[in-house]
Amino acid sequence: MPDPALLSINQLTTFEQWSLDQAIDGYARHGVPAIAVWREKLHEMGVAQAARKLKDAGMAVSGLCVCRVPVTTDAAVRREGLDDNRRQIDEAAAIGARCLVAVPVGMVDAAGMTIEDARARGLEAMAELLPHARGAGVVLGLEPLHPMMCATRSVLSSLEQANDWYEALGGGPELGITLDVYHVWWDPNLAREMRRAKGRIAVFHINDWLPDTSDTRVDRGMMGDGVIDIPSIRRMVEETGYTGHNEVEILSARTWWKRDPDEVVRIIKERYQTAV
């Protein structure tokens, strides 16, 4: 069983039900010690006010989501994207987030480019952001997303590729890897790449892959309801030296976004003990 003090809930899990203000209160009411914040919700509440409330509630912030790093060759779009990324780094610092989850965007935002080019430009953009992250004391947590999101969300598609990028960028305290079981559970190279990721994991996300899912975006499962061997992956993550939060991130239009959010949190706490 994982340490109850390391439970975190990503507010995407109660995205349809709760504002950030309500989520902080709601998670705290159930004794959940940490939260991950979604940027749109943060802006809705206001960064300063959110920072104050999080501090007053004594709630740790396992992450801020999600820094969408440009891959384009269009100079103006790229500059605008990187400027916004830097603002988000400052927001992460302001709320004391332990990491800012970062992804290079997908092929739909790379018109006219090959996938190799898009990836190369994404890596360059990451390199440009690191000094600002270092200055702000923020860890950029590169997240490989499931290959089914390569067109729409990110051209970073495997832990192997994230490890390659980590090494190409020279590592350092301001760089890490976000590992989500949903994105990597299928990977035949997972165990090998987890061994390679020693000291690199910035945050660990948990949820499940439902056997009957056919939606690529918002149909994740509660831990224990799917096919992922979460305890095995958690052990691999811990063997990298990771001692941070186990962050529950469930995007679920058909089930969990429709349920009473207090019930969702109660069930998360149960499953955290039995299925993680």
Distance CA(252)–CA(269), nearest Å, equals 17
Supply the minimum distance, in Å, between the C-beta of residue 149 and a second copy: 9
Distance CA(171)–CA(127), nearest Å, equals 10
Identified binder of a second copy from the candidate list 52, 87, 186, 241, rule CB under 8 A? 186
214 belongs to the binding site for a second copy (CB under 8 A): yes
Q: Please tell me what DSSP assigns to residue 145.
A: P
- Residues numbered 49-88 forming contacts with a second copy, rule: CB under 8 A: none
Q: Could you identify the residue written with the tokens 């100079």?
A: 75
Amino acid, single-letter form, for residue 98: R
Per-residue tokens: 87: 């603002």
Per-residue tokens: 13: 């899990």
Pattern 118-157, a second copy, x by CB under 8 A: -x--------------------------xxx-xxx--x-x
Parallel, antiparallel or unpaired: strands 175-180 and 7-10: unpaired
Supply the minimum distance, in Å, between the C-beta of residue 230 and a second copy: 12
38 belongs to the binding site for a second copy (CB under 8 A): no
Q: Treating both helix axes as pointing N-terminal to C-terminal, what angle do 261-274 and 20-29 enclose, rounded to 10 degrees?
A: 50
Identified binder of a second copy from the candidate list 108, 168, 171, 273, rule CB under 8 A? 108
Distance CA(238)–CA(240), nearest Å, equals 5
226 belongs to the binding site for a second copy (CB under 8 A): yes
Supply the minimum distance, in Å, between the C-beta of residue 256 and a second copy: 18
Residues of this chain that interact with a second copy (CB under 8 A) are 107-108, 114-115, 119, 146-148, 150-152, 155, 157-158, 160-161, 164, 185-189, 209-217, 226-227, 229, 232
